[in-house]
Structure 1
Amino acid sequence: MLYYALVFLVVALIAGALGFGGIAGASASIAQILFFIFLILFVVSLAMRLARR
């Protein structure tokens, strides 16, 4: 999931540099959503690991 967030971030940066504002904004939003989902799942995973021990 983190990989896809980084891919969308790179797409947003390239689209922004080339002047495609709509595509850059959409890609940046998708990257942000995927990154936050990754963070939530990571924290839940850490909590579950600590709960097992």
Structure 2
Amino acid sequence: PLPIWIKTTYRLQFMYPFPHPMAMGIGQTGVIWTPLKNLPAGGDNFNYLLFKKVDCCAL
């Protein structure tokens, strides 16, 4: 395990309460994908799907 995340290895996809069709990189600005996602009456319960890039090809 690494003590520091390599940000280019991981991607997040917003799943709940409003699914988003694309995965975002960690550290990417939220201006593009966050409009109207945090409604005042809906609460703060969010679900994200975490993708990790794995190099599985051997040369």
Q: How does the TM-score come out when normalised to structure 2?
A: 0.26
In terms of fraction of residues, the more strand-rich structure is 2
- Ranked by relative contact order (alpha carbons within 8 Å, sequence separation 6 or more), the top structure is 2
Q: How does the TM-score come out when normalised to structure 1?
A: 0.27
